Structure 1
């Protein structure tokens, strides 16, 4: 297939590109910078210059493709309204371009807010709807296009997709430990984070493109949920730092932008996804990655 990808040079996207190329797909990727364009072209990817605000370019890319994989997000935590609006506009644009074609449209989502007091499952519908919702309610918007002849699939990623050179949430928690001189966890540290290794996530994306039915909600999750206290303890061991609870009122100051997410419970299962796609995670666990030094060197 000819696949159009947004976010192809990102942490997950760059690994997914490698998997899709290995499976024999050809790829056109949206690239914002010269560095991203050069890295993608070196892999044999056709580059289309633009960003999430270039809706006309996104429409052209989607219209010319056999399938679309939407992984990009502005991730502007200082202006979430801007990020949410851009996400919703991009999803609307892709859906409109694919309407009536039955072509696959896979988009990145997450497991946040799906369930309370238990691990989220694929049967849980997202409560996030409408333009003012987090991520612009993009999952529900995309899945609505299934009724308009689009093969829509939601990829709900674990909050941490880990591995060497990760610069996401766990890297931010490690950076806070270095800066504060203590590896902290919020409150009692009983809230849990689901996790998946980057290599496993990329393979699931490739499987989903070929095997996932329209309307599917897939959980890109290998570990159901690690208590934040356990994560802090292994970070403390690796960095040789004390480990301590951080009071709820101090979480934002101690951890910075990642604090609110670290305080939430993000547990989720992937039993249905594994059975549906024949996907079995084989990569290192989050604890194994931290112990092996994946986060020992600060990422620029």
Structure 2
């Protein structure tokens, strides 16, 4: 088997990817910025390497000898636009340069459908939809610019591929489900526009399956969407997801236009006043939870041989906790 280099290995997606790679017999080396991250990586059977995304030389040394690299690390929330750009764009540029100089044959970058978002629904879109580095929201703008860097680097001494999962969920999630659960339990949750729009999701097992297939079979210079196969009604899925944690979602809804306008105003105030921490409401969160987002995965099915390996019902069963 081969040596594989992974960034973001102590996170939800990166951790599950490492576990899969180790189980498949690969030697895995993973970036670790802290003692806690190093311990997590070691516990998964990988070798931690102390470096960070702003350290090109450290990245190059960490990737030396690897045939494949997976760039999973990214800033997903919090911080200024400059911080998003530093972590997601400059950090990605550093990774591309480092793995190329280290002689890595193929880089798989974890992208996102959010890179196409600029305030309008995404309805059955495929990979021909344009990247929106001009998005007014920092996360999609920075992820779009990062993905373009990766795709543009293909053929310059390295093969590059982008995999785009949507709404990654499942057992082991330390961010999305805990955050929504905390909002409901604190009384801060409301549906936006009723929550009855369609959305695609991607279970963590399906995300990892897509990443492995992209490394093995992906066409260089291409991006691929992967999902759980069929869209679901956002409201129904979230109710089922929170029910696994014995949390009941209130039947309270606010108009989309009102919430989006409020988020725009709050973001502007946060920037103008240079307030610390995350704003209580932002446009990206409104778009993610208030608009349809459905994706066409024909390309992944055709070129990668991708099919979901875990169904919604199986994933929900894995999440259910015992009744107190």
TM-score (norm 1): 0.83
Q: CA deviation at 1:191?
A: 3.5
Conserved 8 A contact 2:160-2:221: yes
Within 5 Å, give how 1:82-101 maps onto structure 2.
82-99=83-100
Instruction: Report what 2:111 is aligned to.
Output: 109
What is the CA–CA distance in structure 2 between the aligned matches of 1:270 and 1:134, rounded to whole Å? 23
SS of alignment partner, residue 19 of structure 1: helix
Choose which of 179, 185, 190 in structure 2 pairs with 1:172: 179
Choose which of 289, 294, 311 in structure 2 pairs with 1:267: 294
Structure 1 47/233 Cα, relative in aligned 2: closer, same or farther at 3 Å? closer
Which 5+ residue runs of structure 2 have no aligned equivalent? 267-278
Structure 1 129/164 Cα, relative in aligned 2: closer, same or farther at 3 Å? same
What is the CA–CA distance in structure 2 between the aligned matches of 1:212 and 1:104, rounded to whole Å? 10
What is the CA–CA distance in structure 2 between the aligned matches of 1:32 and 1:193, rounded to whole Å? 34
Conserved 8 A contact 1:185-1:232: no
Instruction: Report what 2:319 is aligned to.
Output: 294
Conserved 8 A contact 1:6-1:70: yes
Structure 1 241/17 Cα, relative in aligned 2: closer, same or farther at 3 Å? closer
Q: CA RMSD in A?
A: 3.1
Which 5+ residue runs of structure 1 have no aligned equivalent? none
Structure 1 241/213 Cα, relative in aligned 2: closer, same or farther at 3 Å? closer
Instruction: Report what 1:134 is aligned to.
Output: 142
Tell me the alpha carbon deviations over residues 100-145 of structure 1, each in whole angstroms, 9 at most, x when there is no partner. 8571011111012538552221333423379x83226111110001
Q: CA deviation at 1:24?
A: 2.1
Within 5 Å, give how 1:14-29 maps onto structure 2.
14-29=15-30
Conserved 8 A contact 2:57-2:98: no
Q: CA deviation at 1:208?
A: 1.6
Tell me the matched-pair count: 292
What is the CA–CA distance in structure 1 between the aligned matches of 2:162 and 2:202, rounded to whole Å? 16
What is the CA–CA distance in structure 1 between the aligned matches of 2:69 and 2:41, rounded to whole Å? 17
SS of alignment partner, residue 191 of structure 2: strand
Conserved 8 A contact 1:188-1:245: yes
What is the CA–CA distance in structure 2 between the aligned matches of 1:129 and 1:28, rounded to whole Å? 35
What is the CA–CA distance in structure 1 between the aligned matches of 2:309 and 2:125, rounded to whole Å? 22
Instruction: Report what 1:242 is aligned to.
Output: 250
SS of alignment partner, residue 41 of structure 1: helix
What is the CA–CA distance in structure 1 between the aligned matches of 2:253 and 2:64, rounded to whole Å? 51
2:161 paired with 1:153: yes
Structure 1 106/129 Cα, relative in aligned 2: closer, same or farther at 3 Å? farther
SS of alignment partner, residue 239 of structure 1: coil
What is the CA–CA distance in structure 2 between the aligned matches of 1:174 and 1:48, rounded to whole Å? 34
What is the CA–CA distance in structure 1 between the aligned matches of 2:241 and 2:7, rounded to whole Å? 33
What is the CA–CA distance in structure 2 between the aligned matches of 1:241 and 1:85, rounded to whole Å? 37
Tell me the alpha carbon deviations over residues 213-245 of structure 1, each in whole angstroms, 9 at most, x when there is no partner. 201211121144333332344467652343221
Tell me the alpha carbon deviations over residues 222-271 of structure 1, each in whole angstroms, 9 at most, x when there is no partner. 14433333234446765234322123334759984644532243221212
What is the CA–CA distance in structure 2 between the aligned matches of 1:171 and 1:215, rounded to whole Å? 35
TM-score (norm 2): 0.78
Choose which of 311, 315, 318 in structure 2 pairs with 1:284: 311
